[in-house]
Structure 1
Amino acid sequence: MNNPEKRKEQLAAFDKLLTIMDELREKCPWDRKQTIESLRHLTIEETFELSDAILNNDLEEISKELGDILLHIVFYARLGDEKKAFDIGKVIGQLNEKLIRRHPHIYGDISADDEEAVKQNWEKIKLKEKGNTSVLGGVPRSLPALIKAMRIQEKARGVGFDWEEKQQVWAKVEEEMGEFRENFDATDEVPVNKEEATKEFGDLLFSLINYSRFIGVNPEEALEKTNRKFIYRFQYLENAAKASGKTLGDMSLEEMDTYWEAAKNEEKNK
């Protein structure tokens, strides 16, 4: 239930932000110089900083990074207002209308008893809104490939094009793995056809991402956790080597593996 006093404080804080934005745009040399185009790369950077805070589960940092992104939204809206194209009221108004339109199970007479039904309704409504000739037309071309694969699969599922059981998806993973192994056997000394290997490896990755979706694992998050795990262990290895008066280049693979195992054990004991 809404707390009237809290809502009043929130609106006052947002009003103050809009006032500050106006003042910065009019008085600060840096803020006066910015354009929609010049802010773009900064917004991308802020988004990744928020992502880092989320991965670190640092709630205080998440709050700060959300503030930075909110500043960018308000900044874009101010620039849009100067061009007489849109302002913050229009931005929020369009969002409100879209949320109501895409939640007919809340604001209309459509039934959606679970998360999957909500997602399917969302994709169907979105397809009509954007006038795309393809269900996949709304997937941004510039998305990183792994995230793009997830979105492609989710959108296809939204219109019913998907596997029925996770066992079917795993069978596809094994099929793709078998094809890759058959064509690019690690024991074969014949030079690899990189173009063909790239295609087959892409098929294998796509099927693994599909399986992760079926078991409720976010592949982007899973890979990032593995990246961080590797970084921790490798830096442990570097520090251990330095403490013993060596560099990694001076050590044998067997010596490095000893420290690597020690890093794994330390992780487990944390």
Structure 2
Amino acid sequence: MATDPRSASPQATSAQALAERPFAWFDFVMAAFVTILLLSNVLGAGKVAVIQLPGIGPWPFGAGILFFPIGYVLGDVLTEVYGYARARRCIWAGTAALLFMAMMSWVVVALPPAPEWGGQAAYEAVFGQVPRIVFASIVAFWAGEFANSYVLARMKLLTGGRHLWMRTIGSTIVGQAVDSLIFYPLAFLGAAGWTGSLVLKVLATQWVLKVAWEVLLTPLTYAVVATLKRREGVDVFDAGTDFTPFRARL
């Protein structure tokens, strides 16, 4: 009687042994990763929302924080299920997509509008981007995601694949710290209305909130990782992996 591969236990193997193997679900996870990255930057980054906190009152926050951390969860899933080398490809794909989005936004906004079209001001308000902030966002994403993936892959080797929660939260603490330490000073330090203390306060607040999101999403991460490992049939360990970020080969 044949065994359903979807119900079989995943087999531990090295990433190098699977360098040329196709995976059934990898492309879908990569597409979700890049999609969330782009949409969180387009739709969420420019809006400051507010929430009423008991005993504190109104508390402003960047709307992008609701969805951007999901990209880090998917980054964890990519590294945990498919290994660092494939996660590295996804990070480069996301970086290229961000660069193209920034270029396309600049070109489209800069095109002279037709005289009868009255939406230019609104279009500029939504899609017009400050080059400094765009540059900071791309650099911070690139460095933070690679730090996140590296720490998770290394911790998986050190723990022998145990304690997934420790790896996902630990890697997010490091990755989001790198992201925040690069983005907020690079984007806002010295800008009008931004004092050094305000940059530090926003940096620390956003870092804590993003890590808290990762903790809250841990059950979802467990479910997604377990399902993908079972369906792919492998549990990838990065023994012998070249961890340089500056390559695309598996």
State the TM-score bracket (shorter-chain normalisation): under 0.3
TM-score when normalising by structure 2:
0.26
When you count strand as a share of all residues, which structure comes out higher?
2
Q: Normalising to structure 1: TM-score of the pair?
A: 0.24
| More contact order relative to length (CA 8 Å, sep ≥ 6) | 2
Q: Which has the larger radius of gyration?
A: 1
